[in-house]
Structure 1
Amino acid sequence: MAASSIGTPEQLRDPNYTPPISRAVPLGIQHVLAMFVSNVTPAIIVANAAGFGFGSNSPDFPELLYMIQMSMLFAGLATLMQTIGMGPVGARLPVVQGTSFAFIPIMIPLVAGKGVDALAALFGGVLIGGLFHAALGTVIGKIRFALPPLVTGLVVTMIGLALVKVGIEYAAGGVPAKASGAASYGGLMSWSAALVVIFVTLGLKFFARGMLSISAVLVGIMVGYVYAMAMGMLPVDKITGSWSNAAAFALPQPFKYGFEFSVAAVIGFCLMAFVSAVETVGDVSGICKGGAGREATDKEIAGATYADGLGTAVAGIFGGFPNTSFSQNVGLIAMTGVMSRHVVTFGAIFLIICGLVPKVGGVIRTIPIEVLGGGVIVMFGMVVASGISMLSDVNWNRRNMVIFAVALSIGLGLQLEVMNVPPGSPNALQHLPDTLRILGASGILPAALIAIVLNLILPQELSDESIDEVSGGMKGQNTGKLPH
Structure 2
Amino acid sequence: MKMDLNEAEKKSGNLNDKSKYVLYGVEDTPSLPMCFLFGLQQAIMCIGGTLSIPFILSGLLCASSGDVTSTLLSITMFMCGIATILQCLFGIRLGIVQGGSHTFIAPIVAMMALDKWRCPESEDSEQRPLNDTSGVQDGDEIWQSRMREIQGNLIVASITQLVLGCTGMLGIIIQFIGPLTIAPTISLIGLSLTGVAIQFNKYQWGIAFLSLSLTLVFSLYLREIKIPLPAYNRKRGCRLVRYPLFQLFPVILSICISWLFCHILTITDVFPNNSTIPSYMARTDSRLEILERAPWFYWPYPFQFGIPTVSAAGYVAFLAATISSIIESVGDYYAAARISGAPPPPAHALNRGIAMEGLSSIVSGMVGSGHGTTSYSQNVGAIGITKVASRAVFLTAGLILVFCGVVGKFGAALTLIPDPVIGGTLTVLFGIVSAVGLSTLKFIDMDSTRNLTILGTALILGLMIPQYISNPENAALIDTGNSELDQVIKVLLGTAMFVGGVVGFILDNTVPGTDEERGIIAWRKSLSSSHDTETADSTALQMYEYPYVTKYLRKINCCTYIPVSPVFNKNIEFNCSCCHRNKKQENITEVGYDNKAAFDEDSTAENSSRL
1:35–1:334: structure 2 CA closer, same or farther, 3 Å change rule? closer
Aligned residue in 2 for 1:360: 410
Q: Is residue 2:231 matched to residue 1:200?
A: no
Aligned residue in 2 for 1:307: 356
Q: Is residue 2:434 matched to residue 1:381?
A: no
Aligned residue in 1 for 2:165: 136
2:107 to 107, 110, 129: 110
Tell me the TM-score normalised to structure 2 length: 0.58
1:419 to 453, 458, 470: 470
- 1:88-143 CA-to-partner distances (Å, cap 9, x unmatched) read x446x57453227xx53x33533459597986676656545544444425535433
1:94–1:59: structure 2 CA closer, same or farther, 3 Å change rule? same
2:442 and 2:67 mapped to 1: Cα distance?
A: 44
Q: Is residue 2:297 matched to residue 1:249?
A: yes
Offset at residue 388 of structure 1 (A): 2.2
Which letter does structure 1 place at the counterpart of 2:437? G
Quick check: 207-216 or 247-256, which moved more? 207-216
Offset at residue 356 of structure 1 (A): 0.7
1:205–1:387: structure 2 CA closer, same or farther, 3 Å change rule? same
Which letter does structure 2 place at the counterpart of 1:36? A
Offset at residue 478 of structure 1 (A): 10
3-state SS of the aligned residue for 2:182?
helix
Offset at residue 376 of structure 1 (A): 2.4
2:26 and 2:511 mapped to 1: Cα distance?
A: 46
Matches within 5 A, 1:290-301: none
1:387 and 1:162 mapped to 2: Cα distance?
A: 13
Aligned residue in 1 for 2:456: 405
Aligned residue in 1 for 2:186: 156
1:267–1:418: structure 2 CA closer, same or farther, 3 Å change rule? closer
Matches within 5 A, 1:274-293: 274-277=327-330, 279-280=332-333, 283=336
Offset at residue 274 of structure 1 (A): 4.0
- Contact 2:189/2:328 (8 A) holds in 1: no
Offset at residue 238 of structure 1 (A): 4.7
1:231 to 265, 281, 296: 265
Rg larger for: 2
Quick check: 205-214 or 150-159, which moved more? 205-214
2:515 and 2:395 mapped to 1: Cα distance?
A: 49
Which letter does structure 2 place at the counterpart of 1:385? A
1:447 and 1:127 mapped to 2: Cα distance?
A: 28
Aligned residue in 2 for 1:176: none
1:268 and 1:410 mapped to 2: Cα distance?
A: 19
Gaps of 5+ in 1: 174-189, 466-474, 480-484
3-state SS of the aligned residue for 2:192?
helix
1:230–1:249: structure 2 CA closer, same or farther, 3 Å change rule? same
Offset at residue 410 of structure 1 (A): 2.9
Aligned residue in 2 for 1:97: 97
1:95 and 1:236 mapped to 2: Cα distance?
A: 31
Which letter does structure 2 place at the counterpart of 1:435? V
Quick check: 274-283 or 366-375, which moved more? 274-283
2:296 and 2:46 mapped to 1: Cα distance?
A: 21
3-state SS of the aligned residue for 1:460?
coil
Offset at residue 154 of structure 1 (A): 0.8
Aligned residue in 2 for 1:431: 479
- Fraction of identical pairs, as percent: 18
1:48 and 1:16 mapped to 2: Cα distance?
A: 34
3-state SS of the aligned residue for 2:98?
strand
3-state SS of the aligned residue for 1:429?
coil
2:366 to 301, 314, 317: 317
- Contact 2:186/2:335 (8 A) holds in 1: no
Offset at residue 250 of structure 1 (A): 0.6
- Contact 1:147/1:452 (8 A) holds in 2: yes
Offset at residue 353 of structure 1 (A): 1.5
RMSD: 4.4
- 1:208-248 CA-to-partner distances (Å, cap 9, x unmatched) read 46454344233323322222222233667655433211111
Which letter does structure 1 place at the counterpart of 2:183? G
The number of equivalent residue pairs is: 427
1:72 to 68, 77, 85: 77
Which letter does structure 2 place at the counterpart of 1:311? S
1:461 and 1:346 mapped to 2: Cα distance?
A: 45
1:333 and 1:225 mapped to 2: Cα distance?
A: 20
